[in-house]
Amino acid sequence: SQTIHQWPATLVQPVGSPLSLECTVEGTSNPNLYWYRQAAGRGLQLLFYSVGIGQISSEVPQNLSASRPQDRQFILSSKKLLLSDSGFYLCAWSVPGTETQYFGPGTRLLVL
């Protein structure tokens, strides 16, 4: 069966520090991968999606970036965190050509 992992589960970082969040998927090949952010009390915001290795599409301008160095690995990064980057970061995957998305457990990021 397929599983999706995210780490770390929680993170407290100072403003201006770098960020690296990792997401890996097991049990499937060539998935579509997604990074979302969910701010407190608000809905999901799609940040990036990827349909293959090295293929990244960005949905909103921000100081975050994403990379997909391997088929089932998706990384969210920042060189300098802002206070507004605080939130719940969710990775998800889907089978290409289908609409159902499966989410990871999320990383709760607090920037102070």
Partner 1 sequence: DAKTTQPPSMDCAEGRAANLPCNHSTISGNEYVYWYRQIHSQGPQYIIHGLKNNETNEMASLIITEDRKSSTLILPHATLRDTAVYYCIVRVGLRGGADGLTFGKGTHLIIQP
Where do the H-state alpha helices sit in 7-94? none
Min. distance of Cβ 16 from partner 1 in angstroms?
Answer: 27
Short-list 52, 90, 51, CA closest to 70:
52
Do 73 and 28 meet the contact criterion of CB atoms below 8 Å apart?
no
73 binds partner 1 (CB under 8 A): no
Angstrom distance (rounded) from CA 86 to CA 19: 11
Span interacting with partner 1, options 13-21, 41-49, 65-73, 77-85, rule CB under 8 A: 41-49
Do 9 and 21 meet the contact criterion of CB atoms below 8 Å apart?
no
DSSP conformation class of 85: G
Q: Which of 1, 14, 40, 43 binds partner 1 (CB under 8 A)?
A: 43
Span interacting with partner 1, options 11-19, 44-52, 64-72, 79-87, rule CB under 8 A: 44-52
Residues that bind partner 1 (CB under 8 A): 32, 34, 36, 43-46, 49, 51, 57, 59, 90, 92, 94-106, 108
